[in-house]
A and B are shown apart, each in its own frame.
Chain A
Amino acid sequence: MKARVTVTLKSGILDPQGKAIEGALKSLGVDGVASVRQGKVFDIEMAGADKAKAEAALKAAADKLLANTVIENYRVELL
């Protein structure tokens, strides 16, 4: 079973990397970029076929390690 955990910065948290990328996109002349926030994507292959179990395990993974919930939100998707 393929899964994806997406970790993003909470709103209001300063994201200097996103800001730098935003600046670079603007200087490249990419049209219409208002703002950029950088995040992380984890593609995870889960053993077994129990979706509920996999989802619970991935939430635990995100809470324990993948995200720092002080500053980040996460989303778990089973693909």
Chain B
Amino acid sequence: MKSAVLVFPGINRERDMARALRLASGKDAAMVWHAETSLPEGTDLVVVPGGFSYGDYLRCGAIAARAPVMDAVRDFAAKGGLVLGVCNGFQILCESGLLPGVLMRNARLKFVCRDVHMRVERSDTPFTRGYNAGQVIRVPVAHGEGNYEADDETLKRLEGEGRVLYRYCSPEGVVDEASNVNGAANSIAGIVNERGNVLGMMPHPENHVEEIMGCTDGRGLFAGLAQHLEKAA
């Protein structure tokens, strides 16, 4: 696994992300500055980390989505390369057109910073193969704009094509209003694009990968990616 972590001004989770990637693959991720126009040779995973790129000016992720490096990411994704966006990274992927829909203000208007539970909807994707379908994992969220919304047609397609990979749920795995931390449509926590090679998710799996963090439920995502890419290599 040769991963590249994008770095935009105002991003603050890039080191956590790099640490989680190193833990899973044993290799250092390349840190790629937003002004670059290409990705390092041989990159097989691009990660857009969380934070507050450009201070969330205009709309969350709007400015970063138009940064020079994103053209290279679009090319990479068009060729089938794996792209993972977490939190602000999810917002950036939506703003860049790589994923449909938009992340609106949390329905209860509050920034939410706490652990949530997510149900892994399927296990036959590079982003979920480290888990079992239906498995419930605990991961932290920290966002004010994570309320995923899209028009009815798009939601129907996402559901029909099995592109919702992660969904907010209760600790027992029940998807209900009480566990929908930000009011997202259909309790959506993470979706993939049509081709299945670009994932965006609001929760932070990279913050639950080591014993000292109190939980290691996020490991499966990175371990799955590493496995997938080693097999492909």
Contacts and interface: CB of A to CB of B under 8 A. Distances in A.
Contact-residue size bin, chain B (C-beta under 8 Å from the other chain): 10 to 19
Nearest to B108: A16
A36 interface: no
B107 A14 contact: yes
Contact of B62 (A14, A16, A17, A68): A68
Interface string B85-119: 00000000001000011101111010000000000
Interface in B18-71: 58-59, 62-63, 66
Contacts of B16: none
A64 B141 CA distance: 30
A66 B229 CA distance: 38
A71 B62 contact: no
A20 interface: yes
A79 interface: no
Interface residues of A, number: 11
Interface in A1-57: 13-14, 16-17, 20
Main secondary structure of the interface of A (DSSP, over half): helix
B109 to A, nearest CB: 5
A42 to B, nearest CB: 9
B105 A17 contact: yes
A24 B14 CA distance: 38
Contacts of A13: 104, 149
Interface of B: 58-59, 62-63, 66, 95, 100-102, 104-107, 109, 149-151
Interface of A: 13-14, 16-17, 20, 64-66, 68, 70-71
16 contacts: A13-B149, A14-B104, A14-B149, A16-B106, A16-B107, A16-B109, A17-B109, A64-B66, A65-B58, A65-B62, A65-B63, A66-B58, A68-B62, A70-B150, A70-B151, A71-B102
